[in-house]
Structure 1
Amino acid sequence: MSQDIKDAVCEALDSGWYILGEMVAQFERKFADFCGVKNAVCVSSGTASIFLSLLALGVEPGDEVIAPSFSFMATASPILHIGAKPIFVDITPRTYTLDPNEVEKKLSKRTKAIIPVHLYGHPADMDSILEIAEKNNLFVLEDACQAHGAKYKGRKVGGIGHVACFSFYPSKNMTVCGDGGIVTTDDEEVAEKIRRLRNHGRRAKYVHETLGYNLRFNEIQAAIGLKQLEKLPSWNENRRKIAHAYNESLNDLVITPIEERWAKHVYHMYVIRTEKRDALQEFLKKHGISTGIHYPIPIHKQPAVSEIVDSNLTLKNTEESAATVLSLPMYPQLTQSEVEYVCEKIALFHEKS
């Protein structure tokens, strides 16, 4: 932990106010400015940000919410906790984000909202999704939990849909050294609903207008978040440089990630695709290279949703991606020599296989 972050944590501790104090308010203002919106509301996790946003938008039991199956479970679990039904839609194989053409096929009279996930740090095709939403009177909730600072047609994600949700889990492009999340929106009413819902439904001290939850953010998290937010742009640029270096060496060996002309990718993860995924992962492990699979089981195949998903549902691109994706090392401090080592071992694997 850098000294400036340690100093900020000490300042928060010395203040004597640990929950929803001035540092939280300051972090909310800074993050709202960063995303180009009027409001940001800190909550306890990225999952909580999605859950409270859906409630604030009026999603109720029996409603349907369109979402990708190729994502972390937290994209869908808040929908289920509310009693609504996730309607899983396939992705585009280029960006791993919602395919707008497939979204239109899944609309019904019960559809209430669409959740595009900016997976791995690449934005979804927001104009197409917003057009569908406007035509059908639907809300758009951006799942930006992996895309802090990513841009769509020059606009930062987090300021494009009706609301957007971010996570500060330790592996994200910025963190608060633990769980944490934030909701961004221009809608004052939605923001105020989330503020109350995160804090026991409270409007004023001991005045509770609705049943709420304990999903608050603390001052130490905010102190860390303020310092991390300052560093985020340079960290993202480092990630982009690392991705470019990977691309130059790996383009002829595996399927490398693309960046659409309208997008600015922030590479929360650098994800390749290969039919020999499992063998390559084992080979790299033997050479001291840690990799990951994000995600090996699509949400619609998870046991937790088996009772609400049609067993015959097939999402071709989702299932092919789950079988072939591999996440290579990616973090801002990764050195050129480390990138070269990873690429050399992948080349060696292909020579031998």
Structure 2
Amino acid sequence: MVEEFESALAAGQGVEHAVAVSSGTAAVHLALHALDVGPGDEVIVPAHTFIGSASPVTYLGARPVFADVTPDTHCLDPDSVKSLLTGRTKAIVAVHINGCAADMKALSAVGAAAGVPVIEDMAQALGTGIGGRPVGGFGDLACVSLFEQKVITSGGEGGAVLTNNPAYAERVRRLRSHGEGPIEGRPGLIWAHEVGYNYRLTSVQAAVGLAQHARLGAMVEARRRNAARLSERLVGVDGLELPVEPEGTVHAFWKYVVRVVPAAGRPPAAEIAATLRSRGVPVLLRYPFPLHKQPAFAEHQGVSLPVAERLSQELLALPSHPGLAKGHLDHVADEVRRAVSA
């Protein structure tokens, strides 16, 4: 069942190999390990993302280097990445945040010029596309999350590593299962070629994932339809920037995120969120603490990443999941309009 799910996932993302694992964070860990990231190495990661994009760097004894993001897509800024490259840079992690495609053409060019591989973190981006192709095949490896809140799930937790490189796929497959694999010349026997992990996906989880994967297109379309409805109702609201869909891309809208533009007399985003929650609309700031400002990465506190820092206090994630009907969405939009204009 696991292999059947892997085949479906690989075919759906247009890549040669998919290796199912126990979580999206495990996928990032294994992708980095497959690239031999280790002590003394640096890995460039956006500051505006979930900690699971960065924490696996430290598991391997390497150092995350936090980069800024673009003000419109909130994805990794290629210029910021370029400015941070050193002889110690071992990988670049490009996150397709909220389902919005990162600029893979520019990021891949930056990586290629420096000889640094690019990992796509598409934990939030099943259903996202660039130039008619699904994300996942633009980098050297890609990481999927199947957590219960993601676009599709494998029943609570789960993930996968995608790649077109057979050597990477083989190593990830071995590492997810204690580093064990066949012994050449000794059929039927296995041993541990290296120390690995218990990062396997179970057959039961794979069965759930397979059933969910069959509905991926419909669920993404529902998210896009709900996002369009919110945009239709919120367009023109003074002080509110709506999410963008870069030309030539498809946004999966795992999250529908708006920016509250600061202005005299306008409540800040945190206050608007609190007002909306008091009225029964579950709205939160989107990543209110950039990774480099969190205690886990205290050594980076002095780093200045102005866009990520500004966005942390200005972005709101609005309810938009596929289970919401038009009436729910209209209520959300009406309450947001009312709170922003207060």
Length-normalised TM-score, structure 1: 0.91
Q: SS at 1:305's partner residue?
A: helix
CA distance in 1, matches of 2:217, 2:249: 16
* Counterpart residue type for residue 211 of structure 2: K
- Out of 269, 272, 275, the position equivalent to 2:255 is 269
Partner of 1:292: 284
Partner of 2:274: 282
CA distance in 2, matches of 1:53, 1:348: 45
> Which range moves more in the overlay, 242-251 or 108-117?
242-251
Partner of 2:310: 320
Percent pairwise identity: 39
Q: How does 1:300-339 map to 2 (within 5 A)?
A: 300-307=292-299, 309=300, 311-339=301-329
CA distance in 1, matches of 2:127, 2:332: 26
Partner of 2:30: 52
Q: CA RMSD in A?
A: 1.1
Shift of 1:74: 0.6
**8 Å Cα contact 2:34/2:171 also seen in 1:** yes
Corresponding residue pairs, total: 328
**8 Å Cα contact 2:285/2:313 also seen in 1:** no
Query: Does the C-alpha gap of structure 1 residues 350 and 292 become closer, same or farther in structure 2, counting only changes over 3 Å?
Result: closer
Partner of 1:214: 198
Stretches of structure 2 lacking an aligned partner (at least 5 in a row): 183-188, 263-267
CA distance in 2, matches of 1:207, 1:312: 46
Shift of 1:262: 2.1
Partner of 2:159: 181
Shift of 1:332: 1.0
* Counterpart residue type for residue 48 of structure 1: A
Shift of 1:206: 4.2
Length-normalised TM-score, structure 2: 0.94
Partner of 2:116: 138
- Out of 131, 138, 145, the position equivalent to 1:153 is 131
**Greater per-residue helix proportion:** 1
Q: SS at 2:119's partner residue?
A: strand
Stretches of structure 1 lacking an aligned partner (at least 5 in a row): 1-22
Q: Does 1:348 align with 2:338?
A: yes
**Greater per-residue strand proportion:** 2
* Counterpart residue type for residue 294 of structure 1: R
Shift of 1:65: 0.8
CA distance in 1, matches of 2:206, 2:161: 14
* Counterpart residue type for residue 239 of structure 1: R
4+ aligned runs moved over 3 Å, structure 1: none
CA distance in 2, matches of 1:228, 1:350: 37
* Counterpart residue type for residue 221 of structure 2: E
